[in-house]
Each structure stands twice: as C-alpha cells, then as structure tokens.
Chains A and B, each alone.
Chain A
Amino acid sequence: MYFNSDLKAENTYDAIVVGSGISGGWAAKELTEKGLKVLVLERGRMVKHGEYPTAALAPWQLPNNNRLTATEAKDYEKQLRTGYTVTPATKHWWLKDTEHPYTETKRFDWIRGYHVGGRSIMWGRHSYRHSDIDFTANAKDGYGTDWPIRYKDLAPWYDHVETFAGISGQKEGLEQLPDGKFLPPIEMNCAEKKVRESIASKFNGRVMSVGRVANLTQDHNGRTKCQFRNLCSRGCPYGAYFSSLSSTLPAAEKTGNLTIRPNSIVNAVLYDAKAKKASGVRVLDAITKESMEYHAKVIFLCASAINSTWILMNSVSDAYPDGLGSSSGELGHNLMDHHFRAGASGEIPGFEDMYYLGRRPGGIYLPRFRNVGKDKRSDYLRGYGYQGAASRVGWQRAVKELGFGEELKDNLAVPGQWVMGMTGFGETLPYHENKITMNKAVLDINGQPTLTFDCEFKENEMTMRKDMITSAGEMLEASGARNIRLNDPKDNAPGLGIHEMGTARMGTSPKNSVLNKHNQVWDCTNVYVTDGAAMASAACVNPSLTYMALTARAAEHAVQELKRMNL
C-alpha cells in the first residue's frame, strides 16, 4: 500500500503531453515555461537534436542512388505512395506499414513516423496563417460547423509562435493570407520574378509571393541560419528549420520541468466519472510491453489528428462507451486533408546566362484568389493556393535528348532551360461521412487495435481541381511559358497531402463538436486536443502553424484554469 502510493506520486505530474511532434513540442515548451512539471509521452524511440545520421551524406555515399531496395520497399507499401518520403537517407523517420497496419474502405495515405520529434523533423515547413475568410467559411456556406474562434483570437498566438519558430516570408497585405512576424524572405530567382510580374499585370494584381517557411534566413534564438543545402528532411545539424528537436523541446528542457518518456504508447485517457475529469493516461511500454498509469491535472493530446482521435476512441468508460469525447457523434468524423498535385509546368524562355547558387528549402507561394473579394465561383466553394518554383533543369533532362559521347558530356556540363512548376493545394470540405473507425480485428505490432479509413474527395474538390489545373496553365501562358504541361494526377487520394485533420473538431456547442473554443474536450475539460484533430475546417494553407498557435493558446488557458482551480 505504502509502495503503491509512492509509485503513484512518482508517476504524477502537473501535466501530461501525449506526442512530441509540432503540437506536443509546443505544449511542452509553453507548459514547462509557465512552471508546470510536464511529462511528455512519445510512442516512438528517443532522438535528440543532432542525431541525424544521414544529414551530411553525399549522393555517392547513399546506396542505390538513394532508392530503397525492392526488399526494403515491401515494408513501406503505403508510406511509399507519396513517391518521395521513404529513402535510404530518411527511412529511419518513417514507420513500417507491416508493423503499423491500417485498413482502407477507400484509399487513404496515412504517412507518418514514430520517434521523438515526430513529423516536425520531416515536415514541409510552409507556414501560413488562417484568415477570417477561413474561420467564417463553415458558417457562411453551411459545410461543417462554425469555428468557435475568429482570427483575432488566434492572431496574438500566431505572433507568439512565429516569433519563436522563425518564419521567413514577405508581407503582401492580403486579406486571405494575413502577414506575420517574418524573418527576411528568401528571394525569388530571375524566372520567378518574371512570372510574379506577369501574373500581377495580367491577372489584376494577383500575388505570387515567396514561400513562408520555417527556415531561418538569419541566426535566431541560438539556432544557425539556413545553409541552403535543402536536405531538411534528413534533420538539420544547424537547427536551421523549426522542429521539436531543434527548438521547442530544448526550450522546455531548459526549464528543468520536462521529462520525456519515449517508447510510451498512450492507449487511453483514464476517466474519473465522479470528478468528470481525466485522472491520467494508460501507457503501454513498447519495449517491455508493460502497462502502467501516469497521472496529471491536465492532459494535452498532441499525438497527431488520427492518433489523438484513436486514443479518445479507445478511452472507453461506462459514461462514454464509444470513447471520451464521443457524445456529439463527431469523434472520428469530418476527416480532411488537402487535395493537391494538380497544376502545371512550363519552360520559361530567356535568362540563359543567369543561374543561382544554393539550394532553396522552399519555393513560391501563390495565395488563394478564388472566392476572395470580387471573385465568385459558381461551380465550387472555397479555394486553393499554389506552391511551386522555377529552376534550371539539370542532368536529369538528358535521357532523351542531348545525344551521347562527348556531345552528351558537353551538354550535361551546362544547365538546361528554366522550368516553372505550380502545384495547387486545395481546401477539402468537412464531410461527416469521411471518417475513421476502430478496427479490433486488425492489431498492430504492439497488439493494439487499429483504424479503418473511409474517406474520399467529392464533387467540390474534383471541380476545384479542374480550375487548379487550368488556372496554373493560364498563368504560365501569360508569363510566356512554352511547352506547358498540365498535371492532373488521377491517383491523388486523401492523406497524400499529409495534412490529415478534423476528427475531433472544435465547435460552438457540445452537440456539434468534440472540443470547445479552448481545445478542451467538452465532456472532460482537463483534456485538451491541440493537433490537427481540432480543425473545424481545412482552409487551403499548410496547417502546422495553426496547430502551433492553437497549442500555445490552449496551454495559456490551461495554466490560467489551473490557477483558478477549474481543472
């Protein structure tokens, strides 16, 4: 008895954060800096900043031109659907589908890795604010449920997270893409500047900006500026892009209030029906397979949209037999991603004697212009933005043309044409029927139940894609591009954007949503969910910056509520 109570004290913290990716890292930083003793539970292995084994390898030091062997690839069948994620240089960041299966009623690409830092190591780093056009979209057209917050609620928190993370970008003064606290922008190259000017002049001031990316253009908060190697996804030894490992977890560690426990699979929130509060979480140790409990006054679920939802669905009690947060009937529903890869590319004539030095870790961003201001589409709702870049084609162009022998070598030694490509990222609507459900028939390597995905793009998305393609072609044509190629990939399934969100959404009432305006589970207010699960709509911009801002805002709320003895 005595021993047990000691053990309980030993396993008790002020706050538990589940997950150590972008959201979990922020929760850990904010809560520890506000004085809470925080336990971060990460299901994957330990990784510390600097432990990036492939970061400095040259192309010839990687096997098979950095391609997996056919035998290795068998373990990554779904992770490889992106075509770019799993390589010998990065495979330690991606999980094996053979160990972590899921079931697809319809194809869904669930691309992820389990380790301290999560996907903050491999993320795309584009960082954009949602605008009030996004926060009011559900209320205006009736899809999904209204966001319980507006831009003014989140704006100071965007300021806060941008200031710490270091986002390079250019202010453009656009209603649909609010400016932020930027480090100096990465410059556009000659061809991009020409395209920017052509688009502005021929499309009534339409803006093509440079990507706003979490890559440092100057030394920042003890981290070194970008070296323009563009090898971010291997992990950056310079700490030149924002990740939990380079940024938030070291800040949390500095407070002396942080404990990280890796290999700790949280499979349930423990619900105390009398107190109507969570008392802690149940953990399965991935190594010893031992089950144990950890306790805290407040719990932050930051395990990724899908896995935080899985934890809630698996947190079954007499009060909530379908899982904690299930009372609205929305838990696991409204699954969203961005639909993308539709766009165009073309050769930009001229600038033959111009080139660049350095490999840029981002590109251009062309913010949404559809259903904004005077633009009104009759055929679809909401909008899309483009990412892209111009570059001179390298040796990869040479297979068909350029001959052989000395002629080929001479041709390889000089850069090819300037080519500009643009890929749309489109908003998907929140559909109740796009969902994940618990699958107890298929277990993962740890004996845990898995998920079944039933999600699809619908008419609004498919109609928008046609416009994404033609508009990209039109803008390239207006920029004088030649040999324009329209890209309309047919195998673009949800999940491929790796922006899954919405499965425990925020809302205005316990009847229409899982979370309230502070990201608290309506039914259990000392549980906060601040990752992609919370999103009531997807907008068309990359979502991670919004997860950061929501997390920091929720952490402040939690600390105030603890002081008020409300949790």
Chain B
Amino acid sequence: MRLQKNTSLALYSVLESASQPQRHISAAEIAARLGASPHHLAKVLAELARAGILESARGVGGGYRFAGNARRLTLLDIVQMFEDVGPHPDAVAATPIERAIATILSEIDEHALATFASITLATMLRLIERQRTVKAQPASPRAIKPL
C-alpha cells in the first residue's frame, strides 16, 4: 500500500512530535530529517494544527508541538485528513468485471481501514520503541514508501 506524500509527512510529523510532547519542533527540522520541501511540509503541519493535533508557537524556540490525545487519536484520524477513504469509486461500476474487481479492492480497503482505525498513536509509539531494539530489516517492496 502506498500513501500520498502528504499523508506520510503528516504521520511522521505527528509521531515525531508525539514522541517528544514537551518539545516544539520546527518545520525546518522535520523537513530536513525527511528530505522534504519545507514549503510543502508547512502546508501539512498547518492542516494538522487546524485539526488541533499539533499546536504552533512562533518565535525563538517555536515550532510545532503535539496537542492531541495519543491514547485516543488513531492512524485513521490522520490518514483520512489527507486520503480519500470512502467507498471505492468503482463500487458503482457498470459491468460485472468492473464490479468484481471493485469487490476485491473494497475488501482490501476495508482491511486497511480497520487496521488504521485500530492503532492509536500510543500504540504506535510503543511499536516504534520496540523497533529501536530490533536490527533494521530491509523494507518489503510492498511496504509504505519510506520518507
């Protein structure tokens, strides 16, 4: 599964800030870490701030800080801000072949949505912590594209 670039940027930014909830992280710092365009990232961060997931502070030492509830906020809450997670557009397809294909794609989507909906940021932070202790594995070719 591949996520839109904005979604990946948002997930990374939120998890980075949630792992250091007391700290304001600058957009430039996150952009540099991800190799992303600061201008592009700024739009994503602004969207997250509008949703109340991040809060921004101006001036020296300013930046973005996590403002959500890590035990309540799920990956789906973030993903659906940047992805169309509604029914598959081919679900109303006209031909039997189109409908059969749409059925399978919907099945995949439903599993993906259930997975995103079931994982809170708190769970992700624990998973990230566990990943720190395991040796890095080569990414599966079907894995989410690394940032």
Bound pair: A and B? Answer: no
